[in-house]
Amino acid sequence: MNYDYNTQRKRMALPEYGRNVQKMVDHIKTIENRDERNRAAKTIISIMGNLNPHLRDIGDFKHKLWDHLALIASFELDIDSPYPVPEPAKFVEKPNQVPYKQGNIRFLHYGRIIELMIDAASEMEDGDEKEYFTTLIVNQMKKSYITWNRGQVADEVIIENMKLLSRGKLKMTDGVRILEVRELIPPVKRKPLGKPHGKQLNKPYNKKKGHIRH
């Protein structure tokens, strides 16, 4: 007996549409009549749309489906598509390399984002807005410190680290308040243990008749 396993079948370009859609696309590639082939392609597009309703939120929904049809057919489907057929080379292009800022992070538990925030706040003019951002930064620093180091930290340590990273440009003022640990990281609420149903709380023990223990 021969078994038909998915691992032995043709690899699907877009598995989210399923094996049946792949089979239908492979079939219409064999249809010789162009008009019939076009009608079959439109039917498959409708099926593909029903299988993936989340694509309806994407701009130019129909265009996306026709591109997917071309991809499933390995760009070998000769039909009158309402949209230009995408070039196969675009699907094998490597993504552009994301530029990362070079340089070491002074305090790993604060991360690069905190350093960028400190740099931006340091260039601001003194005033309420700078004080507001300083408050956000110092509290985020304390939260990050506690999260990564799993322990308490004195506010003086956070203040000194902020001064160091800002090269003395950010300072604590009377309006800046450092939150307590319980305010930054609320305690996790534990779920109450399950209790037996009421009928089982005071259920008496009944001995079975005919079974007497000595």
Residues 156 and 125 in one domain: yes
Q: How many domains does the chain have?
A: 2
Give the residue numbers spanning the domain of 118: 111-184
Which pTM was predicted?
0.43
**176-186 pLDDT tens trace:** 788 888 877 77
Residues 84 and 17 in one domain: yes
193 vs 35, more confident: 35
**14-25 pLDDT tens trace:** 888 888 999 999
Report yes or no on 15 lying in a domain: yes
Residues 75 and 135 in one domain: no
Residues 77 and 117 in one domain: no
For residue 153, what pLDDT band results from cuts at 50, 70 and 90?
confident
The CA-atom distances, in angstroms, between 198 and each of 169, 201, 202, 203 are 65, 5, 8, 9
Residues 86 and 116 in one domain: no
Residues 69 and 140 in one domain: no
Q: In 3-state terms, what secondary structure has residue 48?
A: helix
Residues 79 and 28 in one domain: yes
For residue 214, what pLDDT band results from cuts at 50, 70 and 90?
very low
Report yes or no on 104 lying in a domain: no
The span from the CA of 73 to the CA of 83, in Å, is 15
List CB contacts of 149: < 8 A, sequence separation 6 or more. 109
DSSP code string of 158-193: HHHHHHHHTTT-----TT--PPPHHHHSPPPPPPPP
Report yes or no on 205 lying in a domain: no
Residues 115 and 66 in one domain: no
Residues 74 and 129 in one domain: no
Query: Given a cut of 80, is residue 3 above it in pLDDT?
Result: no
Report yes or no on 156 lying in a domain: yes
